[in-house]
Chain A
């Protein structure tokens, strides 16, 4: 093996450069994040929802989604628990009916717009972003369709157009980002006839949620779902029955999901810097042509 020092340095240097390109960018971004100030959120009050499905219809219209299979006034859809997948419900949101504690409760499902979303940290092209305004948005121009966001999302929200060969999109609620940036309230909140959905700054919504709970402690349970779940979500819920009876995921904890991979990504730099030293060193120790003993012998000749 021909390897003089110049070659060795050249190769080692270029390896290091490679490594740094890969690694410095790989670990950036996985820092703890306290959230954009003044970000918007939504509050669903499940004690108010009457299951009229007008939010679904408004969502369909605002986002130009395909026409529904049955009318948005059809209540037979409540016979099954639906997920907010456009191909199934022709909307980015779905309302489900539950019988809990002798009460009929309706729950609206859609993207939770996490404070530190799993999907955003999963996206290898940065197509998914937590916008400063609050919604988690998706950029069609760079998405490669790997579907890691769907694997990562603890709420099973992002959907994919499996029937499209050329332009499969990731579909989910974007909190009507196009309306928010124009100062218009999201379509579902605007359409709700009973003010079960409130749009506003997340910080004020949190105060509103607790004000309602404190105001009527017998009506509400003592929990704002989304205040801390998965590190906090932009969409929050208050309810009169325990969330566990309404199919809310209760095992996701309060750790923000990017935290789960942060430690691993932090190892990258260490490995890239140590391996060349360790293995290059072993190589050099191994491939010394002659032992010192042999050399002395040769010199004596």
Chain B
């Protein structure tokens, strides 16, 4: 009898040890693990994060004016401009790749689909974190879901859809977490829901990606005419598809450079083909976007603004949008992965430029002497993005993201 209890106790301590050492500390002892953390990258990241956290603390004790330049004329600043309006389109990676693999059955892209979903999930999670920092009363963030409804608001739709989609992506990604934790029955259950989750992802994503543009339909005189258009929902949706794809191309490249030891050969060897394939699709999407953009400006009769300072600023953005698909197309034709990656980078900058211009830089263009941002705001943004990178690295270091878990190889879903 005592023997049995002893072995049970032993098993318990073994399990705890396993969870702590194998899973949490990456198969190292605590000492070794802490030691392994001290390197130049982590030290710099640590300093940025601590400074940012201090400013966030200031924001929550003294109000938004302590760290931002937001004003009654310019209610939204970098937090939403970067975190929400730019973060969400790139996070389309999860739904675009999920649809390609699970709905259209394009098995070629299977090696990157988990990573794309993780990137999407983190993008949404951090968009919500940015929103929480920016909201006047963030502890009421659940009000539009349960307490008080403003159904005529596009933002009501965005709130619901972002909340639901965050949950959907958490579930989609949970398969990797369950594989890591060895929770087979849970994993099996979630895999059974793949189709439902993917279709939910399409419904929610197409709507809220376009809704982010539709939010600005309500400010026709405030967004500059070269950016404001009644086509904005469709422009935002189409460019978000491209954003999700170029994000996958670029992060794949980065994993190749920095996370190689966490990837399996199947992942690494398929990246070139995948990059070329995505590049092709992305080039078509961006050509469509450029056409739609030209049409929208003509439709709104805004070409007269071209030879103004804002018009020149627009040209910079537009030239990037026009060159990116040509580079992508050319790169695919000559099978140059580097060219495709460069085209993807250009597209990423163009989309970032577009989101910041629409929601922030050209917003209130008719008002003279606008203060765009305060340096503390920039530090907070960089710090939160750094935390996102650290969380991403923490997960990829542990869970099967860039590789298949040895226990589940050949277990297709």
Contacts and interface: CB of A to CB of B under 8 A. Distances in A.
Interface string A151-181: 1101010111111110110000000000000
A79 B99 CA distance: 60
Contacts of A265: 152, 154, 157, 214
Interface in B143-174: 143-144, 147-157, 159-161, 164
B56 to A, nearest CB: 12
Most chain B CB inside 10 Å of its own CB: which residue of A22, A87, A251? A22
A147 B75 contact: yes
Nearest to A170: B136
Nearest to A171: B72
B367 to A, nearest CB: 8
Interface string B195-238: 11011101100110011001111111110000000100100000
A261 B63 contact: no
A12 B161 CA distance: 17
B216 to A, nearest CB: 8
A118 B218 contact: yes
B187 to A, nearest CB: 12
A28 B194 contact: no
Interface of B is mostly: helix
A125 B315 CA distance: 38
B105 interface: yes
B152 A11 contact: no
Interface residues of B, number: 73
Given A162-B63, A258-B152, A268 B157 contact: yes
Contacts of B70: 147, 162
Interface residues of A, number: 75
A283 B102 contact: yes
B154 A261 contact: yes
A148 B70 CA distance: 13
Given A124-B159, A145-B136, A156-B73, A151 B63 contact: no
B135 A125 contact: no
Which A-B residue pairs are the 6 nearest by beta carbons? A145-B136, A11-B196, A29-B152, A162-B65, A147-B75, A150-B75
Given A261-B214, A264-B233, A279-B202, 19 more contacts: A3-B194, A3-B195, A7-B192, A26-B160, A27-B151, A126-B148, A143-B140, A144-B141, A151-B219, A152-B218, A158-B72, A251-B221, A264-B217, A265-B152, A268-B157, A272-B207, A280-B195, A283-B102, A283-B103
